[in-house]
Amino acid sequence: MTSLPVGALTDDPDVLAAYASDRASFCPSGRPSALVRARSVQDVVDTLKWAYDNRVPVVPQGARTGLSGGANAVDGCVLLNLEKMDRIVEIDVPEQIAVVQPGVINADLAAAVAEKGLYYPPDPGSRDISSIGGNVATNAGGMCCLKYGVTGDFVRALQVVLADGQVTRTGRRTAKGVAGYDLTRLFVGSEGTLGVVTEVTVALRPAAARPLTAVAFFDSAADAGRAVADYLGAGYRPAVLELMDRTSIDAVGKLQDLGFPADVGAVLIAQSDVGAEATEELKAYERSARACGATEVIVADDPAEGDLLMRGRRLAGLAFEEYPACLVEDVCVPRGRLADLIEGVERIAAEHDVLIACVGHAGDGNVHPTVLFDLDQAEAAERAFDAVMRLGLDLGGTITGEHGVGLLKREWLAEELDDAALWTHQQIKMALDPRGILNPGRVIDSVPGGRADADRRSS
């Protein structure tokens, strides 16, 4: 009989409580029965074998910086934490790939490969504290995704421990390959519901040129949204195109002096990393911004100024946590609907009498309208939060651009997907996790149903 890996095991109630949730607000978490801090693949295998035999739920965790409750405990579960598997196994400079354990912090990987002249682009807002395993579990995005792509675009191969303890490798080290189904992409973004990732092989790029930065100021965030559509529609693809509205600027301003004019309605920050042609790319940006009502456009001639500004932008998440309570949204819409989304969010804020900050990856159409509220406004805040998701769907968008479904948006998934897609999710979940032990209640349940399922079970 398999047992839990004793050396890695904790059942200290205080420790369990500390590990029972991620950073999602207003997202319930259950009472775990144990915590395994895995130090090896064998620890993960032992945990899953034991849990499979005993039908005990397992909640895989990385750095618990997620924003959708995907790492929150389930009653009676084993928390399977991977943050101690944090070794960069290999950086292969000629092949431009790195092999890492899941607990490696995103920024640590980026820094390690940068030292070797390489670049790992995916840079979620949490990059200083989130782990590659968590990034893979949620298919995390970030600021550089507009030009370079999301986490999944950089994952070449995975080592995964399946529900019953089988260890498998997906993908390959080569640039291309089509031998079998794309299991790598199936596990990426599956939020720990199909397997536990124990090693990640990522593709790297040659280092990019240090970016030039331009900032455009607008009276309204919707104008900034129109500038996004205009600029990208003209055929440019800058490295960064980030939006902050008035409320976001105010929030960040409490942590860092951004040096913006006092009455600014919104800023849209563009960065170009195409070397000698960056100036031209930013000139085109200035034209689009002015055509859409920018009151001022400044191109930083010192790259350090740009770095400082981006540091400010990256503080938004932290700045929102200074409020009594916040709910972070993650809708993504077609870029042409960005202005509609922003105006709609302003309407929703007014209707529900809450403050909503609009900040995010405008170039992707992915913004994080963040409801900022006092605890006695919680109900109104949740209604506003739901209304933003509904608006995102109505504009042809998605309920989650990069944070994942987790627990927070599980019921909303059925609003976005059609019945056959939900059926497909359930079939896959049941096929790979027939006892439903892996992160149960997240993304999708293992609920039998449908015609082919009856068939499959009688076959």
Integer angstrom CA distances of residue 425 from 112, 181, 235, 392, 428: 37, 16, 36, 22, 5
Quote the CA–CA distance of 356 and 251 in Å, as a whole number: 11
167 binds a second copy (CB under 8 A): yes
Cα–Cα distance measured from residue 76 to residue 227, given in angstroms and rounded to the nearest whole number: 50
CB of 119 to a second copy, least distance (A): 10
Please provide the DSSP assignment of 62-114 as one string. SSS--SSSTT---TTPEEEE-TT---EEEEETTTTEEEE-TTSBHHHHHHHHH
Q: Kindly tell me which of 3 and 174 has the beta carbon lying closer to a second copy.
A: 174
Interface with a second copy, residue 166, by CB under 8 A:
yes
Q: Identify which of residues 45 and 258 has a Cβ nearer to a second copy in the complex.
A: 45
DSSP class per residue in 410-438? HHHHHHHS-HHHHHHHHHHHHHH-TT--B
Q: How far is CA 100 from CA 23, 85, 109, 110, 135, in A?
A: 24, 9, 8, 12, 12
Q: Which is nearer to a second copy, 194 or 328 (CB)?
A: 194
CB of 435 to a second copy, least distance (A): 6
Q: Does 262 bind a second copy (CB under 8 A)?
A: no
Q: Which of 38, 162, 241, 438 binds a second copy (CB under 8 A)?
A: 162
| Binding flag, residue 54, a second copy (CB under 8 A) | no
Q: Is 334 in the site for a second copy (CB under 8 A)?
A: yes
Q: Which is nearer to a second copy, 18 or 421 (CB)?
A: 421
Establish if 176 lies at the interface with a second copy (CB under 8 A).
yes
277 to 316: interface string for a second copy, x by CB under 8 A: x---------------------------------------
Binding flag, residue 23, a second copy (CB under 8 A): no
Instruction: Give the interface segment with a second copy, choosing from 14-22, 100-108, 262-270, 450-458 (CB under 8 A).
Output: 450-458
Among 229, 239, 326, 387, binds a second copy (CB under 8 A): 229
Give residues with Cβ within 8 angstroms of 120, minimum separation 6: 98, 106, 109, 110, 113, 154, 202, 204, 205
Taking CB under 8 A as the criterion, which residues in 336-375 touch a second copy? Answer: 336, 361, 363-366
Cβ burial, residue 354 (10 Å; 0-12/13-18/19+): buried
430 binds a second copy (CB under 8 A): yes
d(CA 226, CA 272): 19
355: nearest Cα among 261, 246, 272: 246
Question: For residues 95-114, which are near a second copy according to CB under 8 A?
Answer: 95-96
Number of residues that bind a second copy (CB under 8 A): 101
| N- to C-terminal Cα separation, the chain | 30
Does the footprint of a second copy cover residue 421 (CB under 8 A)?
Answer: yes
Q: Does 275 contact a second copy by CB under 8 A?
A: yes
Please, which of residues 398-417 interact with a second copy by CB under 8 A?
398-405, 409, 413, 416-417
Q: Is 152 in the site for a second copy (CB under 8 A)?
A: yes
